[in-house]
Amino acid sequence: KKTFQGPFKACHDVVKPSDFYRNCLYDVCMSDGAKKILCQVLEAYATTCKKQGAVVHDWRTPSGCRKQQGAGSASS
């Protein structure tokens, strides 16, 4: 977040990360740092960015979030 570099950098001007960031902080803190919550927030931001036409690079590898099999994987 500090440098705004990384897999989401092309999206920051299209979809402001501030709401996602605040929600992530709250949700992760309330769940004792649950990685599952972090991954869900990153997935939501990536999906929103892509819907707005922004390029999102691989965020799963640096975050350690694996793609969930089955649930919600229908392609459009």
Residue in this structure with the two tokens 């705004």, named with its chain if needed: 4
As for how many domains the chain has, the answer is 1
Mean pLDDT of the chain: 79
Q: Would you say residue 2 lies in a domain?
A: no
Domain that holds residue 15: 8-52
| Amino acid identity, position 56 | V
Q: Flag whether 65 is in a domain.
A: no
- Block residue for tokens 């992530």: 24
Domain-located, residue 62: no
Residue 44 lies in a domain: yes
Task: Please state at what angle helix 35-51 crosses helix 18-30, rounded to 10 degrees.
Answer: 160
Element (H, E) at 57: none
Does residue 58 fall inside a structural domain?
Answer: no
pLDDT in tens, 19-34: 888 877 777 777 776 7
Domain membership of residue 20 (yes or no) is yes
Is the residue at 14 inside a domain? yes
**Whole-prediction pTM:** 0.69
SS3 at position 66 = coil
